[in-house]
Amino acid sequence: MTQPPNTAGQAQGKPLQDFLITRKWPARHPERIQLYSLTTPNGAKASIALEELGLPYEAHRIDITANDQFTAEFLSLNPNNKIPAILDPDGPGGQPLALFESGAILLYLAEKTGRLLPQDGAQRYQALQWLMWQMGGLGPMFGQLGFFYKYAGREIEDARPRERYAKESRRLLGVLDQQLQERDWLLGRGEAAYSIADIAIFPWVRNLVVGYGAAELVGFDEFKHVQRVLAAFNERPAVQRGLLVPAAGSQP
């Protein structure tokens, strides 16, 4: 199909109603951050961060079964046709900002509020390294494992893809378990150590167990520290709220 021009980088100076995406998903509260998402691990990163930070936002459900992500309206915000994406009417300099990629959204929201990302140089870069680790390793590997173990890929008779991703997922869980041995969160002990790194990683860990049902396949019971921190993550009220966003009845 022919894709519309990439307007995601042309946000500054435009009134919110001038964004093409708002024609399909009208903003009832145009003064709030507009979130275009789904209840997937990557989608949960954005909604959990918004809930943790207490930022006013309006959620719009992108129905991938109806190919919403390929509509001209959605592609005008994210030419990569993936969720989540946001439209902040009060971006840098008070101008609207359109943004996609869950890691970039986490970083933006943390810097916008001055929270969930340490200001100290060393701690800041440690948070960013774990954010990048999730984006480049854990997320893609867990996603591939889910495809070959639970979804259409399981119909492939060749077991090597599933075994490859199961082995790599297990290795990554070992890396994470070691990091958490004497820590409450990725960056250390106590509530102050909780950061966007944890928000990036644990929706994927949760989905590996709950969504994909792959705990036994990867030997999840062996990773006691990952289990402990996942349980603490799941108990956070903001996490519990964020995991339900957007609701099935969200517009349109």
Give the pLDDT confidence of 93-130 residue by residue, as tens digits. 999 999 999 999 999 999 999 999 999 899 999 999 99
- Residue 15: predicted pLDDT: 80
Q: Which CATH class is domain 121-241?
A: mainly alpha
- Kindly list the distances between the CA atom of residue 212 and the CA atoms of 112, 197, 216, in Å, as whole numbers in the listed order: 34, 22, 11
Is 81 exposed, middle or buried (CB count within 10 Å of its CB: 0-12, 13-18, 19+)?
Answer: middle
* β partners of residue 40: none
The parts of the chain modelled with pLDDT lower than 50 are: 1-12
Which sequence spans correspond to the domains of the chain?
A: 16-115, 121-241
- Residue 1: predicted pLDDT: 37
- Assess contact for 166 and 153: CB atoms under 8 A: no
Q: In this structure, which topology does domain 16-115 adopt according to CATH?
A: Glutaredoxin (3.40.30)
- Could you list the beta-strand ranges (E) of 79-233: 85-88, 97-100
- Residue 9: predicted pLDDT: 40
Q: Which amino acid is at 160?
A: R
- Residue 13: predicted pLDDT: 56
- Assess contact for 13 and 204: CB atoms under 8 A: no
- Residue 3: predicted pLDDT: 41
- Residue 226: predicted pLDDT: 98
**What does DSSP say about strands 85-88 and 97-100: parallel, antiparallel, or unpaired?**
antiparallel
Residue 221's Cβ-side half-sphere holds a number of Cα atoms within 13 Å equal to: 2
- Residue 2: predicted pLDDT: 37
Largest CA distance in the chain: 54
* β partners of residue 88: 97
The dihedral over CA atoms of 183, 189, 193, 199, expressed in degrees to the nearest 10, equals 40
